[in-house]
Structure 1
Amino acid sequence: MKVFIQFACICFIYMSSNVFAADSEGKFAAKGAGRKACEDFVVSFQQKDSEFLLYAGWLEGYLSAYNQFQKNNYDIAPWQTTELFLILLQRHCSENSNVKFLDATNTMIRAFYPIRLDSEGAIVKVQVGDATAYYYKEILLRAKTRLKKMGFYPKEISGDKFTDEDIKAFSNYQQKFNLKVTGLPDQNTLTTLFLKANPNKSFTD
């Protein structure tokens, strides 16, 4: 959770106008959950009511549409789950209750844009014990490259597979920075690698 709170602060530094523009004045008609106020989303998030599922579905559809129509972009969320996005949006909306859910989402998209996947890539299966996950080869390579620069890899790296050496590198990183040690490039781990400037600094600072 500390990871999510810190990223929420980083994410919304990039507050700006809407990502999409439809008419000559940059206006367009929002539909569904996009028309809701942030304060409404926060209530649904806390209660986990039926409306909450509508927000989640709307968000996934919106991101898919963004992937389809945004130039130089294949996947705006190449490793992030819908759950992560919703947690970040809840944090922002709690502090900006008068903002529309659509505007909050666009702000988050702008923050993620620099670390998007700009073209289709191969998928790599990652298995650690009984846990199995799938990642883009490019994302694995980026994560391993950052770990190597931090001294967690003694040899060359590759994004083609996930070996025992990779498990060791990720586990050591997680242990050093007080993350849950899974050996996987999980949400918390990738968040710190890609979005946290100084892993030694507390997420709540």
Structure 2
Amino acid sequence: MKRIALLGLLGLLPFTSFAADKDGSFAPKGAGMLSCEAFVKIAESKGPDAARLIGWIEGYITAVNQTATDTYDIAPWQPPELLGELILNHCRKNPKDSVFAVNRALISSMAKERLTAKSEIVEIKEGDKKGAMYAETLKRAQQSLKDKGVFSGTADGKWGGKTRDALKAFQKKEGLQETGLPDPITLARLFQPSNGGQSAPK
């Protein structure tokens, strides 16, 4: 997977408050107790402990989905492996940072793209490749493609040839692999904010 830069990460504020003691303190567990330096060593080992880091990220996302206000899914299209890459890339450059702080800031930066309510799952097919995504996320992708002038259809959250062709046109324009599929790398570039937060893959 290509490396993705994470800019201004620790300058971001959490979008919601979580339970803690009266002083706002709480005890991180698992990978949240690690320094970035330790996180990098474990992640690059490719062993069982590296896989557990992804499990910790999944658990964190589940906790946010359960406790954050107006949130059904904080990471509707970002797989934990992608988030792990973002954290790893940041930690390589900032070994003294806390993994918990980095992860919390990253998740907070994704608040704008979260699903605030349950959404239908749409099956994505292209040749022998299959996948699935939320209808609401697909609708947002279609609208973004429309705004960029490569999609002439309706942003309705339904998969079809027009959406596939628009994705291919966008991927070609951006120098990405022309799969016609809404993969995480394509969506990261498509939803790239104008400034700050996650930058799109190079």
The residue number in structure 1 matching 2:181 is 184
RMSD, aligned α-carbons? 2.2
171-180 or 97-106, larger mean C-alpha shift: 97-106
Runs of 4+ in 1 over 3 A off after TM superposition: 13-21, 201-204
Query: 1:93-112: CA deviations, max 9, x gaps?
Result: 11221122111110101111
For residue 127 of structure 1, give the secondary structure of its aligned residue in structure 2: strand
Q: TM-score, normalised by structure 2?
A: 0.90
1:5 deviates by: 2.2
The structure richer in helix per residue is 1
- 5+ residue gaps, structure 2, are none
Match of 1:59 among 57, 60, 67: 57
Match of 1:33 among 31, 34, 41: 31
1:73 deviates by: 0.5
Residues 23-102 of structure 1 mapped to structure 2, 5 A cutoff: 23-102=21-100
Are the aligned partners of 1:14 and 1:110 in contact in 2 as well (CA < 8 Å)?
no
2:7 partner amino acid:
C
The residue number in structure 2 matching 1:174 is 171
Instruction: Indicate how the Cα distance of structure 1 residues 189 and 92 shifts in structure 2: closer, same or farther if over 3 A, else same.
Output: same
1:39 partner amino acid:
E
Match of 2:159 among 147, 158, 162: 162
2:107 partner amino acid:
I
For residue 5 of structure 1, give the secondary structure of its aligned residue in structure 2: coil
Are the aligned partners of 1:45 and 1:90 in contact in 2 as well (CA < 8 Å)?
yes
Q: How many residues align?
A: 198
96-105 or 117-126, larger mean C-alpha shift: 96-105
Q: TM-score, normalised by structure 1?
A: 0.88
Residues 115-126 of structure 1 mapped to structure 2, 5 A cutoff: 115-126=113-124
